[in-house]
Homo-oligomer: A and B are copies of this chain.
Amino acid sequence: MTETGDAVEHWLRGRVPERGLKPKAAAVLEVLLSQPRRACFGSAADLAELAGVNVATVTRTAQALGFAGWPALQQELRARYLSSLSASDVAEHHEVSGSPALASLHRDLDGIGALARRVAEVDVAGLATAIASAGRTLVVAKGSYAAVGAALTHNARLAGYPVELASDDADLANALARLGEGDVLLAISFWRLYQSTVLATEQAHARGARVFVLTDVADPALVRTAEQVLLVPAEGVAFFPSLTPGLALAQAVVAQLAAVDPARTRAHIEAAEAQWLRLGLLHRQPRRP
């Protein structure tokens, strides 16, 4: 019996090469699965001692599992293990109370929590795959929720994918004229539904593009031409809807997109960051992990 959840174990065992692992490497794997906290925080030497192997074997086992080395494996384990611990901590329903600011944050936690619980039904991977294989992707997002479109577009472009944002009607008209078979249109709409967004989905569909919708309300006019609708809660407090769950989902889409071809994503980001350094606009640019 191991201490990790089935999913983490399933994932890790799925990375074992076809030829299998020899006894010492298998012992390392066993320690990772049976002592997840040590795996998350311990040094390679620490784990080696637990497994009764030399530290080099820990590195080599990580490499056999498809990682660059121990730190890369540990980071992934850490992310998965902590994610499994924390999700239900904050995903529970909150009573909206206290200061308006706290109420707002709690409402957002509820919204994202609900999204996380339903994410298996929301086919994020389907949208990410569509963007990855599209000739070009047009993101339509207007008004205040252009922010969500901008965030998604920015990161997707950074990852090297041909994604553009249309947040006003002139941009939209020009971009639609270039859309066709093999392209993707992603319509982002919360709260108010712009007539021009509806028309854009119809036009894109008529031109042979695939239509996806990210919205809080599946208005029939908006979803009529969509092959997929990603529903997101957008309830805020006081007078305003909240864009936070929408943004969280947009980022989740890009996280999934980045995982389609990680090497490509990394290469594009590094190239972009080299340009940033050359332009000298920044006071500070942190290193990426």
Contact = CB atoms under 8 A, between A and B. Distances in A.
Interface of A: 1, 5-8, 10-11, 37, 41, 49, 78-80, 82-110, 112-113, 115-116, 119-120, 124-125, 128, 143-144, 146-148, 150-151, 154-155, 158-159, 191-198, 217, 219, 221-222, 236-240, 242-244, 247-249, 251-256, 258-259, 262, 265-266, 269, 276, 281-286, 288-289
Of A96, A125, A194, chain B has the most CB atoms within 10 Å of the CB of A96
Contact of A147 (B150, B219, B248): B150
Per assembly, the copies of the chain total 2
A110 to B, nearest CB: 5
B86 A101 contact: no
A111 B41 CA distance: 20
Contact of A219 (B96, B151, B284): B284
24 contacts: A6-B95, A7-B96, A8-B98, A11-B98, A83-B103, A84-B94, A85-B85, A86-B106, A97-B119, A99-B125, A101-B128, A101-B256, A104-B248, A105-B112, A143-B154, A144-B154, A147-B151, A158-B239, A192-B285, A217-B284, A237-B255, A238-B262, A240-B258, A243-B247
Contacts of A49: 286
Contact of A151 (B90, B195, B243): B243
B282 A195 contact: yes
A134 B153 CA distance: 34
B80 A96 contact: yes
A286 B192 contact: yes
Interface majority SS (helix, strand, loop, mixed), chain A: helix
B110 A112 contact: no
A105 to B, nearest CB: 4
A36 to B, nearest CB: 10
Contacts of A8: 96, 98
Contacts of A115: 105
Given A96-B7, A247-B247, A251-B244, A90 B109 contact: yes
